[in-house]
Amino acid sequence: MRPTIRFFPLWTLLLAMLLPWQVALARDLPDFANLVEQAAPGVVNISTTRTVERGQAFEGFGGQDIPDIFRHFFGDRFPGAPGLAPGPGPGQGQERQSLGSGFIISDDGYILTSAHVVEGADEILVRLADRREMAATLVGADTETDVAVLKVDAEGLPTLPTGDSDQLRVGEWVAAIGSPFGFDHSVTAGIISAINRTLPRDAYVPFIQTDVAINPGNSGGPLFNLDGEVVGINAQIFTRSGGFMGLSFAVPINVAMNVASQLRDDGRVRRGWLGVMIQPVSRDLAESFGMESSSGALIADLDPVGPAAEGGVRVGDIILEVDGEEVERSRNLPRLIGRVSPGNQAQLTLMRDGQREQVTVTIGDWPDSDEQRVGASDEQSAQARLGIAVSELDDTERERLGVEAGVMVREVEPQGAAAQAGIRRGDVIVSIDHHSVESGTQLLELVEELPMDRAVPVRLYREGRSLFVALRLGQD
């Protein structure tokens, strides 16, 4: 009798081959259950209340601002919806509520969160994982790093351990716990996409970029490594829809704890100050200075009595390194200088007359008043809100261009407000909101006074002709 030969479908054979591999892969994936169980008690929900004037933007679901023009579309259709009911009459105040997250850093009631979560709050309420609610006071907030410290009157609270954010690696697994759209203690996970990200409006934070799902309400919550240690504070997302799109940014915990320590001890944050106005190094500038790459920060101007000038730095120098750390882009310089404690020395590696040189500068304390900041990086302050780098015009340039005043746009951030308005590299900004721009310092002052989310006219000089563009600054 001949043996029977059985033929199995191809997909059956493939499944048999793939199954062991899939089982092994699933076995290697991280299990966050124990991490969440141990960490959840130290994560808190933060709700704030503040009074705003009638006519300002109001909030919709998840604390999102809705322009006043749309008020009549929602007020009647959703009469019971939070933030959407018709408010009081003109001139009267109305309460505005928002949600965020935070975490406990000491058992006697100190809590870390994002500064924008509690900005302008009249009342702050903290809700713990065990459903206890406590009123919190604001110890201090630093808008430059978006870090705030709260205090509740309690003892023996569960705390979260902190890790070393300087040791993070791209591709490492991380998890977040927070309150997106008010859903308390929601857990999401992903990997670190990049480290040391510098965002256009944040010169002092080397952000951690992740693909962890973060939404409104997650702000201020902790980002964990697989050891259950907090390595960052979830702070921002890049989005075109208002929700998560795969790009989330966290403040490194090393930066946050340093800020928190200063806020607790002194009530303010001291940052290093160099006293320079800088601009990016383009390819052409790099070639003209005899450099192979367009890295570093070009000194366009100096405060004559600032730390840089007193330390021997000159206009035209290019700062390549600070204490041995490379200045990859000009916008990295404020962060590198800012983390040096005032009064301490920093060694700067410069490109000067085609040669690398080193100078030692005693770092100053960042001035509190704008009047003291003349020449202290006006370009960086303007870039922070507009997304541009500028330099002042000398007499030869004014004569060649046929303008009496203005500043030259040297670089434009692709996603910045200036780029969206149509401002280009090489444009001369002559006026903003009908105010003449005479210098980089004046540009800084005008930009600081611009209204949020309202278009203002900007007069430019471009390729021999004058034109206007409409500039609109988005909400911070």
CB atoms inside a 10 Å sphere around CB 270: 13
| Alpha helix stretches (DSSP H) within 154-303 | 253-266, 283-288
Residue 467 is encoded by which pair of tokens?
């034109």
Tally of CA atoms within 13 A in the half-sphere of 255 that contains its CB: 27
Per DSSP bridges, beta strands 248-252 and 345-352 are unpaired
Q: Is 146 annotated as catalytic?
A: yes
Q: Is 116 annotated as catalytic?
A: yes
What's the angle, vertex CA 416, arms to CA 413 and CA 417, rounded to 5? 140
Is 100 exposed, middle or buried (CB count within 10 Å of its CB: 0-12, 13-18, 19+)?
buried
Catalytic residue among 114, 116, 142, 330: 116
CA distances from 251 to 75, 146, 233, 353, 451 (A): 37, 8, 5, 38, 27
Q: Is 381 annotated as catalytic?
A: no
Catalytic residue among 146, 202, 303, 378: 146
Catalytic residue among 165, 186, 219, 295: 219
Angle, helix 440-449 to helix 378-386, in steps of 10 degrees: 40
3-state class (DSSP) for residue 379? helix
Tally of CA atoms within 13 A in the half-sphere of 221 that contains its CB: 37
Residues designated as active site = 116, 146, 219
